[in-house]
Structure 1
Amino acid sequence: MLQRLFGLKRRPDAADGLYAQAVDQARDPAFYGRLGVADRIDSRFDLYVLHVQLLILRLQAEGEAGRDLAQRLFDVFVSALDNDLRELGVGDLSIAKKMRKLSEHVYGRMSAYEAGLIDADESALSEAIARNVAPTGPEAAAILARYAMVTRERLAAQSVDQMITSANWAKIEG
């Protein structure tokens, strides 16, 4: 807010680029066409959370520097959510309440996805995806869970510098 008030610009950060990649990937038409994820704000939000979560988990494996970048990525994500709410017309008086509720949704989704991703439990991840992202049925949820697992493997095989340049995301199969 102070940056806007005083006309200061944030310097570009690797976290900004990673967030932009997550958003671009979450907007892949295959999610909405082939898997039948509803093209609504809430469904897109759930895909953003999943993609940011995949990057955060990968970064956290890099020790302190990775955890720092993961935190900055999360901060960029939260800041983007705040900006989106303001663009949707949420006023200053109610923004804190809305952000608190949205933060609860983010943490809830991340917790639901994290267990399946860390344990490589595709079934548990598929169930979490079916509850939250709600693609067109269990088969689509299973395809999205498989996509997330393959993406996690691909990200793990890359250095952080490679991810920052261009993360290697999986493609939607099926």
Structure 2
Amino acid sequence: MGLFALFRRKPHERAGFELYGAAVAAARQPWFFARLGVPDTLDGRFDLVGLHVALLIRRLRTDADPRGPALAQAVFDAMFADMDLNLREMGVGDLAVGKRVKRMWEAFHGRAQAYEAAIAAGDATALAVALRRNVWRAEEAGPPPAEALALAAHAMRAAAALEGQGLAALLAGQAVFPPPEGVADAA
């Protein structure tokens, strides 16, 4: 069994990559950059992908079926396999990739926890504050700007839409993210 284990796929690996791809496609909507002013940088794109993946993982992790959390892990694994590959393609040296991926994982984990807490509480303002801090790197006090509130409202709609999607479709690698408000077609 030893050698054959190297060639065996992990459970839900294909579906995890397909779901991750759906999250990436949703995060690439031009609305985020043109309308909300999300920085069109590596960090800005990472934050949008991270938000959509966090919403997807939240949906899967809380499913009563034990396959849900396993699929959530597969989505997480797909995301960080892609991050590793992208860093290598950008020319980051082999010795630095592991450290960079670890920092990305830590950033994602902290953001996902903040987003999940706000969504679980139904607190769009708290979500907007977390998004302002993470997406726009703004620490100012006071109410969040309209752009952060709009992104929070979108995230709340996406979380609700994902909750309504059955596990069978998700296990088949199919997730539908709603388009941003006012955008006719989802990616």
- Per the TM superposition, whether the score is higher than 0.5 is yes
- Give 5+ residue unaligned stretches, structure 2: 1-5, 139-143, 183-187
Q: How does 1:112-151 map to 2 (within 5 A)?
A: 112-134=114-136, 138-151=145-158
Q: Which residue does 2:76 correspond to in 1?
A: 74
Q: Which residue does 1:162 correspond to in 2?
A: 169
Counterpart contact for 1:37–1:135, Cα < 8 Å: no
- The alpha carbon displacement at 1:162 in A equals 3.0
- The alpha carbon displacement at 1:167 in A equals 2.3
The TM-score, its normalising length taken from structure 2, stands at 0.82
Q: Which residue does 2:67 correspond to in 1?
A: 65
Q: How does 1:16-95 map to 2 (within 5 A)?
A: 16-63=17-64, 64-95=66-97
Match of 1:39, SS state, is coil
Counterpart contact for 2:26–2:179, Cα < 8 Å: no
Counterpart contact for 2:23–2:52, Cα < 8 Å: yes
Cα 1:33–1:65 change in 2 (3 A) is same
- The alpha carbon displacement at 1:9 in A equals 9.7
Is the aligned partner of 1:171 residue 2:179? yes
Kindly provide the amino acid, as one letter, of the partner of residue 173 in structure 1: E
Counterpart contact for 1:35–1:135, Cα < 8 Å: no
Q: Which residue does 1:110 correspond to in 2?
A: 112
Counterpart contact for 1:26–1:44, Cα < 8 Å: yes
Q: Which residue does 1:15 correspond to in 2?
A: 16
Moved more, 75-84 or 58-67: 58-67
- The alpha carbon displacement at 1:160 in A equals 2.1
Q: Show CA shifts across 1:104-131 (max 9, x none).
A: 2111211221111222111110000111
CA distance in 2, matches of 1:160, 1:36: 34
- Give 5+ residue unaligned stretches, structure 1: 1-5
Kindly provide the amino acid, as one letter, of the partner of residue 57 in structure 1: R
Which of the pair has the greater relative contact order for Cα pairs under 8 Å at 6+ separation? 2
* Length, aligned pairs only: 168
Counterpart contact for 2:16–2:173, Cα < 8 Å: no
Counterpart contact for 2:61–2:72, Cα < 8 Å: yes
* Percent of aligned pairs sharing the same letter: 41
Bigger helix share: 1
